[in-house]
Copies of this chain bind each other. A is one copy, B any other.
Amino acid sequence: MKILIDAFGGDNAPLEIIKGSIDARQQLGCDIVLVGNEEAVRACAAENQLDLTGLILHNAGEGIPVEEDPRKILKEYRNSSMGTGLQMLAAGEGDAFVSCGSTGALVIGANYFVKRIRGVRRAAIGTLIPSDKDPYLLLDCGANINCTPDTLNVFAIMGKIFMEKVRGVENPRIGLANIGVEPNKGTELQVKAYPFLEASEDYNFIGNVEFRDIPYGAADVVVCDGYTGNVYLKTLEGTAMMLMGMVKGILTKNAVTKVGALTMMGGVKDLKKRMDLNEYGGAPIIGLRRPVIKGHGVVKAKAMTSAIREAIKYADSGVIEAIAASVPQREDRAVEEEAE
C-alpha cells in the first residue's frame, strides 16, 4: 500500500505532516510518498532532527494558500503539492492521497484530476463524527453548497456502503438532517427529498433526523447538502470546544478542585479522546474513482497518522468498487437531474 501525502497542506505543514508520515510508516507499515518541494521538506526535517529514511520524496511545488481562489488548483497551482499528488493518484502512482490543505481546492482538484465514479454527479465530504455511542457519518460536509433530492439519494447510497464496508455497520440507518421530523419540514430541498429517499429500496431510510438528536447518533448516516452539513459540523465543533474549555476551567479552578479532578482523570481523558473529531483522522471525499482523504487544516502529527490509517482502510475496503456497482446509472436517474 502506497500513500501519497500533500507535504504542504494545512497550517502546520510541512513539520507535522512529516512527523505524522514517519510515524504512520513505522506503525502501519505502508509506503509513504511525501509530495512537495523536496528541498523545503529536507530543510524542515534537518532543522527538526527528523529522519526521513524510508520515506519517498517526490519533488513538486508548495501548497495552495487557503485564501486563494480554489479553482487555481487547475491552472496556476496545478503543480503545487496538492495538484501534483492528485495527478499522481489519478495516474496510479499511489493507492490513496491525503491532504490537509484548502478544502475547496482539494474538492475541485479531485473532481477534475481523479474524477468521479460513473453515475455519481457530486462527490461528498463524509465526516465520521463521535457521539455518546458509536460514530455516525455526515455527508456532505461542505463540498456541494447546492444539492438536489437526487444528489442526496446518491449520498445515502454512498454513505450506506461506507458504513458497511469501512465501519462494519449492518444495515445502517439513513436519516435526512432536518429542522423537524415531519415530512413537510425544512427548505424546498428537504421537502422534495423526503419522498424521494423514502421511496428508495436501496437503503434503510428512517426519515428526518433533528439537529438536536443527531449528536446522540440518531442515524448511522446523516445526509444533507454541503451548506447544512458545514453549519452542523462547525457548530458542533465550536460548542464542544467552548464547553470543554469551561469544564476544564471548573476542574482546574483551585487547589481543591484539582485534587477532586484527580479522581476523574480517566473519565476526562476518555471523553476528550471520544469527542476528538481528529480521532477518525480525516474525511474521505466519497464518490471519487480513487481514495482522497481531507485531513483537518490544523492537523498535528498524531491526527495525520490517523488520517493515513483511515486512507489505508478506505483504499482496502472495496467501498469504491461497491459504489460503482450500486449507484444508478444515467438512464435510471430522475428526470429532474437530467434537466440540470
In the complex, are the beta carbons of B215 and A242 less than 8 A apart? yes
- Is A264 interfacial (CB-CB < 8 Å)? yes
A145-B187 contact, Cβ under 8 Å, with A236-B239, A259-B263: yes
The chain B residue sitting closest to A181, CB to CB, is B67
Instruction: Tell me the nearest residue of chain B to A259, going by C-beta.
Output: B263
Q: Are B186 and A242 in contact (CB under 8 A)?
A: no
In contact, B246 and A132 (Cβ under 8 angstroms): yes
Residue ID in chain B nearest A234 by CB atoms: B211
Please state if A243 and B211 are interface contacts (CB–CB under 8 Å): no
Q: A211-226: contact bitstring with B at CB < 8 Å (1 yes, 0 no)?
A: 1111110000000000
- Segment of A9-17, A41-49, A149-157, A248-256 engaged in the interface with chain B: A248-256
- As a 0/1 sequence over residues 200 to 243 of chain A, the CB contacts with chain B under 8 angstroms (1 = contact) are 00000000001111111000000000011011101111111111
Cβ of A275 under 8 Å from chain B: yes
Residue from the list B182, B211, B253 in contact with A238, Cβ < 8 A: B211
With both beta carbons as reference points, the residue of chain B lying nearest to A255 in the complex is identified as: B263
Closest to A258 in B: B263
Let me know if A212 and B186 touch, CB within 8 A: no
Shortest distance in angstroms between A228's beta carbon and chain B's nearest beta carbon? 6
- In whole angstroms, how far apart are the Cα atoms of A139 and B283 in the complex? 31
Copy number in the complex reads 2
User: Which chain A residues in 31-48 approach chain B with CB under 8 Å?
Assistant: none
User: How far is B247's CA from A51's CA once the two chains are assembled, in angstroms?
Assistant: 41
Query: Are B243 and A244 in contact, with the CB atoms below 8 A?
Result: yes
Residue A262 at the B interface, CB < 8 A?
yes
Assess whether B227 is in contact with A249, with CB atoms less than 8 Å apart. Answer: no
> Among B67, B236, B275, which residue has its beta carbon within 8 angstroms of that of A235?
B236
Additional A-B contact list (17), CB under 8 Å, known A145-B186, A216-B242, A261-B263: A67-B182, A132-B246, A179-B227, A179-B234, A210-B238, A211-B231, A214-B238, A215-B238, A215-B242, A232-B235, A235-B236, A239-B243, A249-B267, A250-B271, A253-B267, A257-B264, A260-B260
